[in-house]
Structure 1
């Protein structure tokens, strides 16, 4: 079993029960105690679990919903699923559109795909420094960088970013999120939540790009309720409770790579 597969199973166990014991994970995964502890450490660095004596707990169980993982930490998780979601998002973009890409690891993958796609006549608004770098000097693409204060995840946020977005209109915003649950979209950063809302407000429609590991994560700041999202692009690892809830809302859910929801 690959490390990413083990980590996803550990994360699923923590989210299902609120906690997971190292001893139980050693038995269920059929790996060593040290391997489980390394996997938990990786998940903790990404802000997805909190390490405790003998195991791991959900990050908001006595933890800090203000913890904000860095870009590289988030990038290391659910790589194949994020890539599939980015490919599905690429298929929805047409030449000549104006779109917005929020800062994030999945939106960054979408930017990389756009850079090599040959889709021309695009205007791309972004608050993501890495996204702007990926699209720099790409023929047929004009990039507008919002400006603002830099966060640990390389997003530009705050009043400058919000004021820029208030004066723009785009066809669609592609939004990455820290957390997703029945109450809506969340992030650990108060200023980033406001800028994400500005990204949504400047668009005729919003598509959220969120792999299954985002379900159940809750950050301090609420971005928006699920009803404000037009489309969710996710993967087939989404747990049953999430599938039931999303099916019951007005949210449109789009599966990737042949997954069914």
Structure 2
């Protein structure tokens, strides 16, 4: 297959699935990872897709653009792993927690499968699948009903009604974007309503968001920055964001994504980072 033919096929796969991984494409086309990376770079330079760590996604996100779970799952892999490592330290055996939809919360779910006596409420199909398949028999997984979104979240009146009857120790919230004015946002109006119900049901709110979420705005605000007791992010967060978030959230925790996903907390100007 000629390079142009391969790149056309790659672009079709990105548009159909929302995102692709380098390793999957290399196996499919029988070429090296380096060849696929050159293809992705060529398509990226022409504005046809967006290169991300380990793959590519569709280009041109806006305030209502909602990438699918697969598309988001190839972005910032090391950062998400480090954030999930740190967030898992906040979970205690026997607790009742919630995980919202998102690829970072799904990464966290992998780290919770061995926590004894845990009850997890979620509106995320991937999170529920991870815990149902790999979790302990003494864990309880509560999956809300609702309408499925492109990000594999269950939202709408059924989800909100189920959540409003619950009382939770802790919510881990994934978000689409963060700005000083809009707070924590999502591109899906119904998902924002469902997320607000989760926030209201929990005693503490922990937001999980890598540095790329800063400056991105979804059409609907979930909550203001001050609503978060903890924000776990990575140390590539811009300096201006550190100042704003350090002042607004209860505790700003930044982790290093270097070294096989191991999280190392970095002190901030805001709340103490352990």
TM-score over 0.5 (shorter chain): yes
Q: TM-score range by the shorter chain?
A: 0.7 to 0.9
Deviation at 1:214, TM superposition (A): 0.7
- Deviates most, 243-252 or 79-88: 243-252
Deviation at 1:250, TM superposition (A): 4.2
Instruction: State how far apart, in whole Å, the 2-side matches of 1:254 and 1:236 are.
Output: 9
- Matching of residue 226 in structure 1 with residue 234 in structure 2: no
Are 2:123 and 2:159, in contact at CA under 8 Å, matched by a contact in 1? yes
Counterpart residue number, 2:41: 35
Q: How many residues align?
A: 216
Are 2:214 and 2:241, in contact at CA under 8 Å, matched by a contact in 1? yes
The alignment's C-alpha RMSD in Å is 2.1
Counterpart residue number, 1:119: 115
Counterpart residue number, 1:244: 243
Moved over 3 A (4+): 31-34, 43-47
The 1:112/1:260 distance shift into structure 2, 3 A limit, reads same
Superposed CA offset, 1:115-174 (max 9, x none): 2xx210110000000111001152221000011000000000000000000000110000
Q: 1:145-156 residue pairs with structure 2 within 5 A?
A: 145-156=143-154
Counterpart residue number, 1:136: 132
The 1:215/1:43 distance shift into structure 2, 3 A limit, reads farther
Instruction: State how far apart, in whole Å, the 2-side matches of 1:33 and 1:144 are.
Output: 43
Counterpart residue number, 2:18: none
- Deviates most, 31-40 or 170-179: 31-40
- TM-score norm. by structure 2 comes to 0.74
Deviation at 1:85, TM superposition (A): 0.4
Deviation at 1:32, TM superposition (A): 7.9
Instruction: State how far apart, in whole Å, the 1-side matches of 2:228 and 2:57 are.
Output: 25
Are 2:41 and 2:51, in contact at CA under 8 Å, matched by a contact in 1? no
Superposed CA offset, 1:157-199 (max 9, x none): 0000000000001100000001111120010000000000011
Residue ranges of structure 1 left out of the alignment (5+ in a row): 1-30, 51-58
The 1:227/1:92 distance shift into structure 2, 3 A limit, reads same
Counterpart residue number, 1:56: none
